[in-house]
Structure 1
Amino acid sequence: MAQNKSVIAGRYELGKVLGTGGMADVYAAHDSVSGQKVALKLLNEELASNLKFRERFKQEARASASMVHPNIVRVLDAGEDTYLDDAGVEHTRSYLVMENVDGLELSKLVARGALKVTEAIRVAAELLSAVEYAHNAGIVHRDIKPSNIMLTRSGNVKILDFGIARAVSDTFDDLAVTTSILGTAAYFSPEQAKGQKVDARTDIYAIGIVLFEMLTGKVPFGGDTAVAVAHQHIHAQPVAPSSLNPKVSPALDAVVSKALSKAKTQRYQTTTAFGRALGEAAAGRVPAAPTPPSPVEELLGPISEPALAYTPTVNTELPADFAFLFGTDPQTAPTLIEPEQFRPPVKRVVAIVGVVALIFGAIMGMGLWVATLQPANLFPASTVTVPQLNNVTVSKAEAQLKDLGFITSQVVENSATTDKGKVIRTDPPKGTVVDPGSPIILFVSAGKTEVEVPQVADMTVPDATIQLEAAGFKVGTVTEGHSPSYSAGLVISTTPSLGTKLIQGSKVNLLVSDGKIEIPDLRGMSVTDANNVLSTLSITPTVQADTGCPKAATPTVKTQSVSPGVVPQGTNITITYCAG
């Protein structure tokens, strides 16, 4: 039966419009069942008419509803209903119900300029905490940006729209269409810009962009089209935030630079690592060194020119409650020794180019000299062949090389395949013919290294196995369990959990979804509590009033259409309460 246009699902009474976007309008609403004030996101009709998107939207909304974290806006309900327009035509609309947050979007705040460095760090830390919780639950946001981040009047962070970007990207392949729905490509990762597979490190890149914007009041990349912005994400190097805000320390520059690495493997691999580095920088300590540059970049600096930071045109009046985010920092970030140098001085470049030219000249001369040699007598009669020493103890290897007249030295490194104290390889390698007395480097195993358990949630078991083995782990037990948000056959979680450090070769157990959930006995619960319980199972019940029994002071569940027990995901359930 069609519903009144101003009431959604027979219970949510629409109030004023809180915001609009390419995907939906957000309303203040009143839930007549629970009596709560909520925020309701109503999808535009073009999206609501796309069946594939509606199904993905409902699936992601169910997954989001299971997350309970102080920095994540709680999803309370999601579904579809209908209404009749003035001509009597029936329309379908999809909606998402969220907790009401009294605050402002971060986008309206950074539009005024840079936040205090201390506040930017604090907001980023809370954001990382929320995203870490989601990643541990196997959910990647994919669309972290200031308009999806709320700050309450006390300054607390609340992030919303988990999973919505996945529903969009799984439905629409075209970058221009995707950005027209989500709103901007300014926070896209290079892999999103290329249409490649995303993972938790995609969110880390986006948080790096948000941190850059909070520190400077600008985004690092911008342009007239989504394609132009995507090109910069893939190819351009961002400027150092300190070049736009002198209160930003070189340590913070380094943190942002690593978070914005083009290659996923060179970014922070987890939000935990990102947060740790941010804490070090906030305390005035230089975080762990980023991934070393290539030889050419080491000589000449970044290959591509730095992009100019881009400022969107937005005007926002600032309520007095949020003034603490701005103004002069009581403590600016400490000055550190040897700040990172993003591009070398001109004199240094000229000197390096000269050295490179000399090296190339020497190599060319060496090549001409070698070309004049005759093939005979290349190896004197006294030459020796480097022996096979792999997996030999270092003491035996040194003794054997000493007997052959070699000079030895050692380099210790971790190895997943060679036992501690044994030789991994030699330089020159085995079989090389050299003169007696030549130096031989022994690479000696320090044993297996500790590696963080990678993100494998939402993968099939074969894909998760590939990911774990690539990190040096073995797959242990594979156990099935119930899940409201992961389809049958997909990994729910690992034991030990994501980000835990283990010795390479350790076993990682997988919990895999059987596509089922367990319905509890709801009878005797308040309707509100029953709704909350079912929402954690990604179920939105149909609530019906039973006028055949006396009305209670608090609406209480009388019957449930599905008996307690294990049922398939998404099972429809109707609960009744007395209203006579």
Structure 2
Amino acid sequence: MSVPRVLSDRYEIGELLGRGGMADVYKARDIRLGRSVAIKMLRADVARDSQLQARFRREAQAVAGLNNPFIVAVYDTGEHVVTNQGHDSSHVPYIVMEYVHGKTLRDLIRSKSLTIDQSVDYTLGVLSALDYSHRSGIVHRDIKPANVMVTEDEHGALGQVKVMDFGIARTISDSAATMTQTQTVMGTAQYLSPEQARGESVDARSDLYSAACLLYEMLAGRPPFIGDSPVSVAYQHVRENPPLPSIYNTELSPALDALLLRALQKDRAHRFQDAASFRRALRAARTGVMPTAAASPADCSPAAVAALAVSGPVAAPALLPLPAAEDATGPVQAVDDGGPSTRAMAKVLAGGALTTDDGGAEQAADVPPADNRRRRAWMITLFLGLVIVLGGGAMVGYNMLNAEPAAVVQVSIPSLDGSPQDEALTQLRNLDLEPHVTDEYSKSVAAGDVIRTQPGSGTMLNPGSAIELFVSKGPSQVTIPKDLAGKTESEVRDDLRALNLTFNNNELVNDGIIPATFVVTTDPAPGETVPVNSGITLRISTGQVLMPSLFDLTKDPDKVEEAVTAELKKVSPHLDVTFEEAENTVVTPGMVTNQSISAETAVAQHTTVVVTLAKAPEPAEPTPTPTPKPTKTAKASPSATPKETPAP
């Protein structure tokens, strides 16, 4: 399947983390919240199988209501439409889950790096998850190493367990929730409870059996039953007893052997009845305390553990013969030989043969008197041995039944001030305490960290006691950050949401500096202190400004251009101006006569306005004076003589 880059315009798909029988798991990034998530997506080739789709959706419904630090959280679900080559489409459901960086218990078991303490700690975490899910009415039905993650920090240190994959989970009230569907056993053979293998209905105790198989494999390095096929393994779960894990790991104590014998009982009524009791017994067994007797006699008693540890038949204790009679011919005291059956046993022990008389009674054939005395001595020794064994067993049983119960070992409350909530809950549950969380405001303790406990640290409590854990919700009042201007809306929302503030509808405002779609300011304004959960209004820039009037900014014509430029920069540093001149006989030269964009008009940043300045008209050219034409004179007659001018 070609994986889309983004699902639902929110989840950016990354690397493939794992592949199962019906789904693939990818690492992804939640674009909206900016966090890493894991997305489990049903494979396209099985997306049309209605049963698998129902199972997939059931997993999301089962885990969505479970909020526990030992269970992988589910954040969201959805469907992605996949178009195939034949142009037909299918709806592929997916689940958005908490991303856990770490390793599965299967990887740790294969690496053979688990210690006894780590195995017990991880099982306690699994039992805590099962205790929570069972109290919520959910049976997992597929507990196995591959379905349990162990978190890992950046330095490679392992942390707490996370139970995942509730794909075949059912509610406890679902009476039809058997493990067989169309004659196929669902689950994993090495970890099936006997009732699952038989196809019977399951309950919380079935999960506890699988958890015991998980603990067995971590301690012994192998599952309790191994076979050539799943059917042979399932048969062993139903019919055979597992070998003691101490056979494969000699460092295990008899207490852990006895605990696993009880947890792996075939009859669910003889196992631990809930995860809490299993958890308490496991903590006690870690310190060498034998678990209490199971419902069936001697199921997990020390004698049963010792008997299973013996390879081959148990040898009978050596019997010391009584002294022989002093005189074979003297009187012999009568002894009660116990009847024909006892006599026959004594004869076999003595090495003689038996014959039968006509009446069917057993008798010894040709037994000399010395042999009779030896036979009687062995019989007496046998009876004395039986009396001693039975009497000793009765005394031990009486002492066990009438022994005073061991004093309750109290636990001390650790100092948890300032610890993260999940870490504090884990520590308290590991001490078999029942923590209850109360949230309250605190100026000095970060949100999500512990403020105090009630009773306080150092107090001694009995296991199972309730303890109040006060967790900080952060301060009751917060200060709006001052550096919000110029950030994107999503960045500002993340910053304010982290301060437990809410949001009103946005307002659009003109701004000459902040680009369009970026935050200009807030209401209340940045720097103000407000109560948590207050509604904040984000004012978002339109990227536009109102054009100012550029007329009559100064009376000095020589400073008009400078004044116009300063006025535009006052409105926005991103507005530009171009000057041009036009002759005007009315306005003083150098003064503004026109602007290309009218005042109070909204314009985008980086707009250029053209300003027209008055210019004096050019002087008119002088009109040329016309030259007079010369007067024509009559031509003189040749005969005429000039007049003489008289002398002055």
TM-score by length of 2: 0.46
Q: Check whether the contact 1:140–1:163 (CA below 8 A) recurs between aligned residues.
A: no
Alignment of 1:96-175 (within 5 A): 96-113=95-112, 115-153=114-152, 154-166=158-170, 173-174=180-181
Is 1:22 paired with 2:21?
yes
Q: Cα distance 1:248–1:547, how it changes in 2: closer, same or farther (>3 A)?
A: farther
Residue 485 of structure 1 is matched in structure 2 by: none
Q: Check whether the contact 1:113–1:216 (CA below 8 A) recurs between aligned residues.
A: no
Q: Cα distance 1:267–1:114, how it changes in 2: closer, same or farther (>3 A)?
A: farther
Q: Check whether the contact 1:115–1:217 (CA below 8 A) recurs between aligned residues.
A: no
Is 1:226 paired with 2:230?
yes
Q: Check whether the contact 1:114–1:216 (CA below 8 A) recurs between aligned residues.
A: no
Q: Cα distance 1:349–1:263, how it changes in 2: closer, same or farther (>3 A)?
A: farther
Q: Cα distance 1:348–1:49, how it changes in 2: closer, same or farther (>3 A)?
A: same
Larger displacement relative to structure 2 (243-252 or 73-82): 73-82
Q: Check whether the contact 1:5–1:83 (CA below 8 A) recurs between aligned residues.
A: no
CA drift at 1:138:
0.7
Q: Cα distance 1:361–1:19, how it changes in 2: closer, same or farther (>3 A)?
A: farther
Find the aligned partners of 1:528 and 1:177 in 2 and give their Cα distance: 52
Q: Cα distance 1:190–1:4, how it changes in 2: closer, same or farther (>3 A)?
A: closer
Q: For residues 310-356 of structure 1, give each alpha carbon's deviation from its aligned partner in whole angstroms, at most 9, with x where no partner exists.
A: xxxxxxxxxxxxxxxxxxxxxxxxxx99964325565636689xxxx
Residue 275 of structure 1 is matched in structure 2 by: 279
CA drift at 1:248:
0.7
Q: Cα distance 1:172–1:219, how it changes in 2: closer, same or farther (>3 A)?
A: closer
Match of 1:209 among 204, 213, 230: 213
Is 1:236 paired with 2:232?
no
Match of 2:198 among 185, 190, 194: 194
Return the letter of the residue paired with 1:254.
A
Is 1:289 paired with 2:255?
no
Find the aligned partners of 2:97 and 2:273 in 1 and give their Cα distance: 30
Q: Check whether the contact 1:40–1:96 (CA below 8 A) recurs between aligned residues.
A: yes
Match of 1:348 among 304, 314, 318: 314
Residue 356 of structure 2 is matched in structure 1 by: none
CA drift at 1:285:
1.2
Q: Check whether the contact 2:71–2:163 (CA below 8 A) recurs between aligned residues.
A: yes
Residue 39 of structure 2 is matched in structure 1 by: 40
Is 1:257 paired with 2:261?
yes
Is 1:75 paired with 2:41?
no
TM-score by length of 1: 0.51
Find the aligned partners of 2:31 and 2:237 in 1 and give their Cα distance: 46
Find the aligned partners of 1:250 and 1:91 in 2 and give their Cα distance: 56
Return the letter of the residue paired with 1:88.
H
Q: Check whether the contact 1:149–1:159 (CA below 8 A) recurs between aligned residues.
A: yes
Q: Check whether the contact 1:241–1:248 (CA below 8 A) recurs between aligned residues.
A: yes
Q: Cα distance 1:215–1:194, how it changes in 2: closer, same or farther (>3 A)?
A: same
Q: Cα distance 1:264–1:288, how it changes in 2: closer, same or farther (>3 A)?
A: same
Q: For residues 144-193 of structure 1, give each alpha carbon's deviation from its aligned partner in whole angstroms, at most 9, with x where no partner exists.
A: 111000011232111111253449x96984487554xx5x3111111111
Return the letter of the residue paired with 2:254.
P
Find the aligned partners of 1:528 and 1:102 in 2 and give their Cα distance: 26
Return the letter of the residue paired with 1:111.
R
Q: Cα distance 1:343–1:216, how it changes in 2: closer, same or farther (>3 A)?
A: closer
Find the aligned partners of 2:73 and 2:13 in 1 and give their Cα distance: 19
Q: For residues 22-62 of structure 1, give each alpha carbon's deviation from its aligned partner in whole angstroms, at most 9, with x where no partner exists.
A: 12111111122222211111122354212244234324412
Find the aligned partners of 1:55 and 1:244 in 2 and give their Cα distance: 42
Find the aligned partners of 2:86 and 2:216 in 1 and give their Cα distance: 50
Q: Cα distance 1:213–1:346, how it changes in 2: closer, same or farther (>3 A)?
A: closer
Q: For CA contacts below 8 A with separation 6 or more, give which structure has more relative contact order.
A: 1
CA drift at 1:293:
4.3
Q: Secondary structure at the match of 1:213?
A: helix
Task: Look at both structures and tell me which one has the larger radius of gyration over its CA atoms.
Answer: 2
Find the aligned partners of 2:169 and 2:42 in 1 and give their Cα distance: 13
CA drift at 1:143:
0.4
Q: For residues 452-502 of structure 1, give each alpha carbon's deviation from its aligned partner in whole angstroms, at most 9, with x where no partner exists.
A: xxxxxxxxxxxxxxxxxxxxxxxxxxxxxxxxxxxxxxxxxxxxxxxx9xx
Q: Check whether the contact 1:125–1:275 (CA below 8 A) recurs between aligned residues.
A: yes
Find the aligned partners of 1:351 and 1:281 in 2 and give their Cα distance: 31
Q: Cα distance 1:551–1:235, how it changes in 2: closer, same or farther (>3 A)?
A: farther
Q: Secondary structure at the match of 2:39?
A: strand
CA drift at 1:87:
4.9
Find the aligned partners of 2:339 and 2:110 in 1 and give their Cα distance: 50
Find the aligned partners of 2:70 and 2:197 in 1 and give their Cα distance: 28
CA drift at 1:105:
0.8
Find the aligned partners of 1:59 and 1:79 in 2 and give their Cα distance: 13
Find the aligned partners of 1:32 and 1:103 in 2 and give their Cα distance: 23
Q: Check whether the contact 2:47–2:92 (CA below 8 A) recurs between aligned residues.
A: yes
Q: For residues 398-421 of structure 1, give each alpha carbon's deviation from its aligned partner in whole angstroms, at most 9, with x where no partner exists.
A: xxxxxxxxxxxxxxxxxxxxxxxx
Find the aligned partners of 1:90 and 1:40 in 2 and give their Cα distance: 21
Q: Cα distance 1:275–1:21, how it changes in 2: closer, same or farther (>3 A)?
A: same
Q: For residues 254-306 of structure 1, give each alpha carbon's deviation from its aligned partner in whole angstroms, at most 9, with x where no partner exists.
A: 11111111111011000111011111111121121233348xx99xx9xxxxx
CA drift at 1:90:
1.6
Q: Check whether the contact 1:213–1:219 (CA below 8 A) recurs between aligned residues.
A: yes
Q: Cα distance 1:130–1:551, how it changes in 2: closer, same or farther (>3 A)?
A: farther
Residue 493 of structure 1 is matched in structure 2 by: none
Q: Secondary structure at the match of 1:118?
A: helix
Q: Cα distance 1:225–1:359, how it changes in 2: closer, same or farther (>3 A)?
A: farther
Q: Cα distance 1:338–1:55, how it changes in 2: closer, same or farther (>3 A)?
A: closer
CA drift at 1:221:
1.3
Residue 87 of structure 2 is matched in structure 1 by: 88
Q: Cα distance 1:114–1:210, how it changes in 2: closer, same or farther (>3 A)?
A: farther
Q: For residues 358-416 of structure 1, give each alpha carbon's deviation from its aligned partner in whole angstroms, at most 9, with x where no partner exists.
A: 99958x9xxxxxxxxxxxxxxxxxxxxxxxxxxxxxxxxxxxxxxxxxxxxxxxxxxxx
CA drift at 1:86:
4.7
Residue 458 of structure 2 is matched in structure 1 by: none
CA drift at 1:230:
1.0
Alignment of 1:363-402 (within 5 A): none
Residue 646 of structure 2 is matched in structure 1 by: none
Return the letter of the residue paired with 2:212.
G
Q: Secondary structure at the match of 2:207?
A: helix
Find the aligned partners of 2:282 and 2:99 in 1 and give their Cα distance: 30
Residue 432 of structure 1 is matched in structure 2 by: none
Q: Cα distance 1:223–1:359, how it changes in 2: closer, same or farther (>3 A)?
A: farther
CA drift at 1:227:
1.5
Please provide the CA RMSD for this pair: 4.3
**Percent pairwise identity:** 37
Q: Check whether the contact 1:29–1:38 (CA below 8 A) recurs between aligned residues.
A: yes
Q: Cα distance 1:278–1:172, how it changes in 2: closer, same or farther (>3 A)?
A: closer
Q: Check whether the contact 2:195–2:201 (CA below 8 A) recurs between aligned residues.
A: yes
Find the aligned partners of 2:76 and 2:340 in 1 and give their Cα distance: 67
Name the count of aligned residue pairs. 335
